[in-house]
A and B are shown apart, each in its own frame.
Chain A
Amino acid sequence: MRGRLLVRKVLWSVVTVMVVITFNFFLFRVLPGDPAKAGVRDPRLSPAAVEAARIRFGLDKPVFLNTEGGSLFDSQYFHYLQALSEGDLGTSYAFNNRAVTSLIGNALRNTVWLVLPAQILSIGAGVALGLWAAYRRGTKIDVGALTFSLFMWALPTFFLGILLLFFGSRYLGFPSAGRVTIGANYANAFEQFWDIARHLFLPTLTFTLVLLGEYMLVMRSSVVEVFGEDYIQTAKAKGLSVFEIIRKHAFRNAMLPIVTLIALNLGFTVSGAIQVETVFSWPGLGKLTVDAVSQRDYPVLQGAFLLLAISVIAANLVAELLYLRLDPRVTEV
Chain B
Amino acid sequence: MGFLRPPGQARAVNVGWGDLPIEVGSPFPGAERKLTVNRHRQRLVLRAGLVVIALLAAACGPGSTETTTSGGTTQTSGTPSTGGTVRIGYAGAPADLNPGIGVLVEDYIMYNLIYDSLLDTDLEGNFQPEVATAWTPSDDGLTWTLTIRDDITFHDGEPLTVDDVVYSMALYRDTEAFLLLGDYLAPWVDDPETPQVPEITAVDATTIRMTAEYPVAAFEYRMPGMYVLPQHIWEAVDDVVTFTNDEMIGSGPFVLAEYSQGEFVRLESNTDYWEGSPKVDEVIFQTVDNADARVQALINGELDAITEFPATAIPALRDAANVEVVDGLEFGGRLADIIFNMIDPADCPPEDGVCSGHPALRDVQVRRALAHAVDKQQLIDSLLLGLGEPGLGLVPPALGDWFAEELIPSDYAFDLEAAAVMLEEAGYVDTDGDGIRECPTADCGPTGDLTFRLNYPTDNDEHPRVSDTLSGWWGDIGVAVQIQGLDSDALTAVCCPGFDFDVILWSWTSDPDPEGLLSVLSCDAIPTGFSETGYCNPTYDELYNQQTVETDRAARREIIVEMQRMALEDVPYIIPWYYPKIQAYRTDTFTGWLVDSPIIALEDPSSLTVIQAAG
- Which A positions have Cβ atoms within 8 angstroms of B? 31-34, 37-50, 52-53, 56, 94-98, 102-103, 106, 109-110, 113-114, 162, 165-166, 169-170, 175-179, 182-183, 192-193, 196, 200, 227-231, 234, 236, 238-242, 244, 248, 278-281, 283, 287-288, 291, 294, 296, 328-329
Q: Are A296 and B489 in contact, with the CB atoms below 8 A?
A: yes
Tell me if B530 is interfacial: C-beta within 8 Å of chain A: yes
The number of residue pairs between A and B whose CB atoms lie closer than 8 Å in the complex comes to: 213
9 A-B pairs besides A46-B180, A236-B3 with CB distance below 8 A are A40-B179, A43-B530, A49-B177, A95-B96, A177-B294, A228-B1, A238-B12, A283-B262, A329-B30
Q: Are A169 and B62 in contact, with the CB atoms below 8 A?
A: no
CB contacts (< 8 Å) of B62 on chain A: these are 109-110, 113-114, 179, 196, 200
CB contacts (< 8 Å) of B263 on chain A: these are 178-179, 182, 281, 283
CB contacts (< 8 Å) of A96 on chain B: these are 95-98, 101, 244, 261
The 27 sampled A-B contact pairs (Cβ below 8 Å) are A41-B492, A43-B516, A44-B184, A45-B180, A46-B179, A56-B241, A96-B96, A96-B97, A96-B101, A98-B65, A98-B261, A110-B63, A162-B293, A165-B296, A169-B296, A169-B297, A170-B299, A176-B296, A178-B264, A178-B286, A182-B266, A192-B61, A231-B26, A236-B4, A244-B14, A281-B293, A329-B28
Docked Cα-Cα span, A328 to B32, in Å, equals 10
Tell me if B289 is interfacial: C-beta within 8 Å of chain A: yes
Q: Are A40 and B103 in contact, with the CB atoms below 8 A?
A: yes
Number of chain B interface residues as a range: 35 or more
- Which B positions have Cβ atoms within 8 angstroms of A? 1, 3-6, 9-12, 14-17, 24-31, 33-34, 60-65, 85, 87, 89, 95-98, 101, 103, 176-180, 182-184, 241-242, 244, 258, 260-264, 266, 282, 284, 286-290, 292-294, 296-297, 299-300, 302, 459, 487-490, 492-493, 511, 516-517, 519-520, 525, 528, 530
Q: Are A109 and B287 in contact, with the CB atoms below 8 A?
A: no
Docked Cα-Cα span, A182 to B182, in Å, equals 35
Docked Cα-Cα span, A241 to B14, in Å, equals 10
CB contacts (< 8 Å) of A170 on chain B: these are 296, 299-300
CB contacts (< 8 Å) of B1 on chain A: these are 227-228
Contact of B492 among A33, A110, A169, A291 (CB under 8 A): A33
10 closest pairs, A vs B, by CB?
A: A33-B489, A239-B12, A52-B177, A44-B183, A176-B297, A32-B493, A113-B62, A177-B288, A110-B62, A96-B96
Instruction: Give the distance to chain B from A210, nearest Cβ to Cβ, in Å.
Output: 17
Known A-B contacts A95-B261, A97-B244, A242-B3; the reply to A44 vs B63 at CB < 8 A is: no
Docked Cα-Cα span, A162 to B313, in Å, equals 14
From DSSP, what is the main secondary structure of chain B's interface residues? loop
Contact of A48 among B5, B176, B299, B300 (CB under 8 A): B176
Docked Cα-Cα span, A37 to B262, in Å, equals 20
CB contacts (< 8 Å) of B15 on chain A: these are 238
CB contacts (< 8 Å) of A41 on chain B: these are 488, 492
Q: Are A102 and B12 in contact, with the CB atoms below 8 A?
A: no
CB contacts (< 8 Å) of A47 on chain B: these are 528
Known A-B contacts A281-B289, A287-B289; the reply to A52 vs B65 at CB < 8 A is: no
CB contacts (< 8 Å) of A183 on chain B: these are 85, 258, 266, 282, 284
Which chain A residue has the least Cβ–Cβ distance from B498?
A32
Docked Cα-Cα span, A183 to B241, in Å, equals 30
Which chain A residue has the least Cβ–Cβ distance from B33?
A328
Max chain B CB contacts within 10 Å: which of A95, A162, A165? A95
CB contacts (< 8 Å) of A242 on chain B: these are 3, 5
Which chain A residue has the least Cβ–Cβ distance from B66?
A106
Docked Cα-Cα span, A94 to B244, in Å, equals 12
CB contacts (< 8 Å) of B184 on chain A: these are 44
Docked Cα-Cα span, A277 to B27, in Å, equals 46
Contact of B242 among A48, A49, A97, A175 (CB under 8 A): A97
Q: Are A45 and B289 in contact, with the CB atoms below 8 A?
A: no
Max chain A CB contacts within 10 Å: which of B1, B17, B33? B1
Q: Are B290 and A43 in contact, with the CB atoms below 8 A?
A: no
CB contacts (< 8 Å) of B16 on chain A: these are 244, 248
Contact of B178 among A49, A103, A162, A239 (CB under 8 A): A49
Q: Are A281 and B87 in contact, with the CB atoms below 8 A?
A: no
Q: Are A328 and B34 in contact, with the CB atoms below 8 A?
A: yes
Known A-B contacts A106-B65, A179-B62, A230-B27; the reply to A287 vs B489 at CB < 8 A is: no
Instruction: Give the distance to chain A from B119, nearest Cβ to Cβ, in Å.
Output: 17
Q: Are B289 and A278 in contact, with the CB atoms below 8 A?
A: yes
Docked Cα-Cα span, A41 to B457, in Å, equals 12
CB contacts (< 8 Å) of B289 on chain A: these are 278-279, 281, 287
Instruction: Give the distance to chain A from B227, nearest Cβ to Cβ, in Å.
Output: 15
